[in-house]
A and B are shown apart, each in its own frame.
Chain A
Amino acid sequence: MSRGYRIRWAQPVWHNASTTVESGDAISMDVGILEILPESEMLALLRERLAGEGWTKDEDGSMRTTIRGVDVTLAADGRTVTASATATQGVSVRTTQQGELSERLGRASEGAKRQLSEKVATQIIGAEAEIREKVQGALQRVYVEALRRKAASMGEIESVLEGVGDDGELELTIKVKV
């Protein structure tokens, strides 16, 4: 035997809220250019080299590029390279209690921001070695060029020998007839 029951069940009213969280982070690296030539000439050589590798020049003299999604900027005075990244993420919450809405949204935003921060940091750290390698490589070519110019200013260049030393460092031998 079965019996029928009638029950009343109020349909819940859902309240929604959403926001966008953003997280940014950056690291900077000091650039110590050897003054083989006057500082301004060394900086001009570095800019030239970076431009040749696809970096774009800003109006204020700074240079920028993107490596693995990370924005890389050489400061206008050439003394700092900054690697920065930002990320955004939408966060939405729903609840039947309107009073809880802002608190829930705050908690969810905080959690999302933490995750985003970690993501951004991981992204920058992941690109750091490549950024260092690229800038260091450019600086090395700048030193080679600066040494050639310096040698040329001292006399007639007879030969230039480039090689790699036992320690893996670039070795440059320039013979100058004075």
Chain B
Amino acid sequence: MALSVSVQEGHALEVLDLLCRGRALRITAKEPLSRPRPELVEVAGRRIAASVLRVLVEGGRRERTLLRDGRRVDGRIWDRELLEDFALRFSPASYTLWIELTQRLGALARSSQVDDGVGSSRSARRQIRKVVKIADTGTGDWIFYALAVRHLERAAMPEEIRGDLRRRLAMGSPLATLLALEEHTGEGELLIEEQLAELLCPENVRLLECADHLFVDAWVARIRAIPAEPTVPARIVRVQGIVRVFSKFLGALDGAHRLDLAGPIIDLLLRLTGADELGLWAQEPAKLVASLGRAGEFASLGQREALRRAYAELVELGARLWELRDRLADEGYGDLRYEESQLLVERCEPLRSRLGTLMSLAGALTNRLG
């Protein structure tokens, strides 16, 4: 479809490309578009749908072993018999995200929107609430929000604004919550547990099966960025938030009898303990401990210890996962979770040789004796 666009319309489409693909903005519009014509809305709708479908296609095209009604089945997620009754559903929230961000991105990107020592200004927070709707979002919106979380990392804006946008997007999408490892407990919104339960219900769980390839890189980046948080209390809050999201995710997978979907967590632990440059946790424990903060940054030894203990809980995710694996390994042939356990046991096996690394790191972080 050939379509001539004005500068404002070009700007609006660039904002959409930023959200969907992480492309930088080149056009600036003095008066951003607020009421797009139907043809442009159609183009935008197609782009959103194509970006969302690309995530699903990439994740679902290869043949793998999946769990259906507690039984192992080989095939592609998109095979008719494996897909069951999955449907992609968009609500007006995706349109709102695009068009409201088009209008407000310029203002939100200004550093004047940040109050020193407090974070985003009240006006910025109000604008963010208008940009990101969180009620009654559908499966399509969940993926679009997750893509937005990933790509907003590339947008030029104050870190505080980006953080608030990320949190708000996470409130509207369980996939965005997982991708950003962003804890949110605001009143009136769905709790993370409820969000994850909704994601793991049979008609939506295909999303998680397809989107698992999105997580690992984002998680590694998030964990590597912990020491970059400006203050030690901010680092503690960040680590504790990450730990709680992982913990709730594992709890939700266990509750839904879908621990076979814990693969991205296993891959994360393998990546972090690997021998290459991404192997943040493979280095000498003392080096990692020192990297969490310089001596002068801590108000007290107690604060230093609080950060290290929080980080130790993150490292102990490996032990937690292994405990679940051991517990599930007790399932005998014919038991309710036997087939799930076989998938998990096989998936966990590469982690066995890394457990020592994880244990000694957790020991160094908690000053373990004995």
Interface residues of A (CB under 8 A from B): 25-34, 81, 117, 121, 124-125, 132, 135-136, 139
With both beta carbons as reference points, the residue of chain B lying nearest to A124 in the complex is identified as B301
Q: Which of B300, B366, B368, B369 contacts A121 (CB 8 A)?
A: B300
Q: List 28 A-B contacts (CB under 8 A).
A: A25-B300, A25-B302, A26-B301, A26-B302, A27-B301, A27-B302, A27-B304, A27-B305, A28-B305, A29-B366, A29-B367, A29-B369, A30-B366, A30-B367, A31-B368, A31-B370, A32-B368, A33-B370, A81-B369, A117-B299, A121-B300, A124-B301, A125-B301, A132-B369, A136-B369, A136-B370, A139-B369, A139-B370
For chain B, give the interface size range: 10 to 19
A41 to B304, CA, bound (A): 33
Query: Of A29, A31, A81, which is in contact with the most chain B CB atoms at under 10 Å from its CB?
Result: A29
**A135/B300 contact (C-beta < 8 A), A27-B305, A28-B305 known:** no
With both beta carbons as reference points, the residue of chain A lying nearest to B312 in the complex is identified as A30
A33 to B366, CA, bound (A): 14
Residues of chain A contacted by B301 (CB below 8 angstroms): 25-27, 121, 124-125
Report, nearest first, the 9 A-B pairs whose CB atoms are least far apart.
Answer: A29-B367, A32-B370, A30-B366, A30-B368, A25-B301, A31-B369, A27-B301, A25-B300, A139-B370
Residues of chain A contacted by B370 (CB below 8 angstroms): 31-34, 136, 139
Q: Which of A26, A27, A30 contacts B369 (CB 8 A)?
A: A30
Residues of chain B contacted by A132 (CB below 8 angstroms): 367, 369
Shortest CB–CB separation between residue B175 and chain A, in angstroms? Answer: 36
CB-based A-B contact count at 8 angstroms: 44
Q: Is the interface of A mostly helix, strand, loop or mixed?
A: mixed
With both beta carbons as reference points, the residue of chain B lying nearest to A34 in the complex is identified as B370
Shortest CB–CB separation between residue A132 and chain B, in angstroms? Answer: 6
Residues of chain B contacted by A25 (CB below 8 angstroms): 300-302
With both beta carbons as reference points, the residue of chain B lying nearest to A42 in the complex is identified as B370
Residues of chain B contacted by A28 (CB below 8 angstroms): 305, 367
Residues of chain B contacted by A27 (CB below 8 angstroms): 301-302, 304-305, 367
Residues of chain A contacted by B304 (CB below 8 angstroms): 27
A25 to B301, CA, bound (A): 6
With both beta carbons as reference points, the residue of chain A lying nearest to B303 in the complex is identified as A25
Query: Of A32, A124, A136, which is in contact with the most chain B CB atoms at under 10 Å from its CB?
Result: A32
Residues of chain B contacted by A125 (CB below 8 angstroms): 301
Query: Of A30, A31, A136, which is in contact with the most chain B CB atoms at under 10 Å from its CB?
Result: A30
With both beta carbons as reference points, the residue of chain A lying nearest to B367 in the complex is identified as A29
A156 to B304, CA, bound (A): 50
A155 to B299, CA, bound (A): 56
A30 to B313, CA, bound (A): 13
Residues of chain A contacted by B300 (CB below 8 angstroms): 25, 117, 121
Residues of chain A contacted by B305 (CB below 8 angstroms): 27-28
Residue pair A32, B367 in contact (C-beta under 8 Å): no
Shortest CB–CB separation between residue B59 and chain A, in angstroms? Answer: 40
Residue pair B302, A32 in contact (C-beta under 8 Å): no
Known A27-B367, A117-B300; further 17 A-B contacts with Cβ < 8 A: A25-B301, A25-B302, A27-B301, A27-B302, A27-B304, A28-B305, A30-B366, A30-B369, A31-B369, A32-B363, A32-B368, A32-B369, A32-B370, A81-B369, A124-B301, A132-B367, A136-B369
Give the contacts of B313-370 with A (CB-CB under 8 A): 363, 366-370
Shortest CB–CB separation between residue B335 and chain A, in angstroms? Answer: 30
Shortest CB–CB separation between residue B366 and chain A, in angstroms? Answer: 5
Shortest CB–CB separation between residue B68 and chain A, in angstroms? Answer: 42
Residues of chain B contacted by A117 (CB below 8 angstroms): 299-300
With both beta carbons as reference points, the residue of chain B lying nearest to A33 in the complex is identified as B370
A26 to B40, CA, bound (A): 62
Residues of chain B contacted by A121 (CB below 8 angstroms): 300-301
A132 to B369, CA, bound (A): 7
A161 to B368, CA, bound (A): 28
A117 to B369, CA, bound (A): 26
Residues of chain A contacted by B363 (CB below 8 angstroms): 30, 32
Residues of chain B contacted by A34 (CB below 8 angstroms): 370
A133 to B324, CA, bound (A): 35
Shortest CB–CB separation between residue B296 and chain A, in angstroms? Answer: 9
